[in-house]
Amino acid sequence: MPVILITGCSTGIGFATAEALARNGNMVYATMRTPANCPQIRQLVDAEKLPIKILPLDVLDDQSVQNAVNKVISDEGVIDVLINNAGVGSFGSVEELSIEMIRKDMETNYFGTVRCIKAVLPIMRERRSGSIINVTSVAGKVYSNFHGAYSASKAAVEAFSESLAQEMKPFNVKVAVVEPGIIETPIFRKVNAYPQKMLYPNLKRFMSLFAASLENHVTPSVVAEVIDDMVTGRTNSFRNPAGPDANPLLTWRGAASDEDWINSVDIDDETWISFMEQNMGLNVRKYMEQSQMPQFN
């Protein structure tokens, strides 16, 4: 039974991935910062007797990460797969986001991932076996206004992963990334507040895009299915988009020159609305026409 360590399992993609991989015959160590605050996963394990063990792990703390890794090795003798999923997300203009908010995205999404990887690399290298899967985002390849802090953190993980994949190839350790599109997870209920006085009116487009996308109710299980394919070897791709809008968003960005992509923010609202409706199938108009900024509930 393969042994899998997953970070950020309290809700969303991490929870769905732990459940899916356990149902498919893996021994899953589901970690989160404070397990006592996340009774849902304990209830799932108790009700269905799934092979899931719950551990505390704070990706911001060296000792917490090492303690979790040591516990898995003590219990199982091996970690076959590390899935780095723990993450946070902020939005807003660079001018209006605090340095603390920008640092939080990078510390959690990038350095948290690096910290967990460094804890398992000696084990995998010495065994000449293992797999590391990093959950990045379409935002790690599609850079949008008002998403600079989050995109930068996910782009950093993309670059780090590609470099690491080459380093680990001689040791038979596989590194890959999964790139979710817009997935309905609790992260949207935790977004930072936006300023009451908007200095950047195009923020409403950004918020409308996400609000309209969330109407599609794409669940985290979609990402979990892609990760399961990666774990089982049904796919051997380095980059693995996940969700119905992931490939369209990546294709949209890939088809535009850098200059055209940057200049596209200058189009008027009606042109932008029409593009989103016709090319992305998103009903953004109702959000753009309402007086209040769109909310994520």
Q: Which residues are catalytically annotated?
A: 150
Q: How many whole angstroms separate alpha carbon 177 and alpha carbon 250?
A: 15
Residue whose C-alpha is closest to residue 17's, from 75, 90, 82, 76: 82
Residue with tokens 């360590």: 5
Cβ partners under 8 Å of residue 129, min gap 6 = 80, 172, 173
Q: Are 3 and 79 in contact (CB under 8 A)?
A: yes
DSSP-based three-state secondary structure for 133:
strand
Where does 136-211 show beta strands of DSSP type E?
A: 173-180
246 Cβ contact list (under 8 Å, min separation 6)? 138, 179, 180, 181
Question: What six digits make up the tokens of 124?
Answer: 């995998």
